[in-house]
Amino acid sequence: MQFVFSRQFSSRLAHYFTRESLTELLETLARNPTQGRVVRGLKGVRKLRFADRMNQSGTRGGLRVIYKYVPRSTMIILYLAYRKSDQDDLLPRQRREILNMAEFLSLLGDSSNSSN
């Protein structure tokens, strides 16, 4: 499995993940890339609840990881991570940015969920 980190995801790595918890996230996604629930209207983008080891929170109150699995190229694009305590859901601006990236991917040949 190949992982691609967006600029937004990369910029928050040190705030949300230890080396061990990032490894755990990537292993979790590699084992089951469709684990997160599909976010309506975002072309197959998924939201995964993930334990926040830095704040000692479980999955319910922990991190949200926004990503897209591209089965054709066995790739996972990690768009964004945020704490549930910082924001309840994706902001409209974040949704637009993620949708733009997802639409760009579909232009490059990702037909896995182009109808969502």
Instruction: Render pLDDT for 4-44 as a digit per residue (tens, 0 to 9).
Output: 999 999 998 988 999 999 999 999 999 999 999 999 999 88
Domain containing 102 equals: 2-107
pLDDT of the residue at 50: 92
> Does residue 89 belong to any structural domain of this protein?
yes
> Does residue 114 belong to any structural domain of this protein?
no
Q: Which of 49-53, 73-77, 109-113 has the highest mean pLDDT?
A: 73-77
> Does residue 11 belong to any structural domain of this protein?
yes
pLDDT of the residue at 43: 85
pLDDT of the residue at 53: 67
pLDDT of the residue at 61: 63
> Does residue 112 belong to any structural domain of this protein?
no
The pTM score is 0.84
Q: What span, in angstroms and rounded, lies between the C-alpha atoms of 112 and 95?
A: 19
Could you tell me the two tokens for 99? 């949708």
Contact 79, 99 (CB under 8 A): no
> Does residue 75 belong to any structural domain of this protein?
yes
The CATH number of residue 6's host domain is 3.30.2310.20
DSSP per-residue codes, 39-64: PTTSTT-EEEEE-BTTTTB-TTTSEE
Sheet with 63-70, edge to edge strand ranges? 2-5, 75-83, 63-70, 46-50, 37-38
What pLDDT digit, counting tens, does each position of 23-33 carry? 999 999 999 99
* Number of domains the chain contains: 1
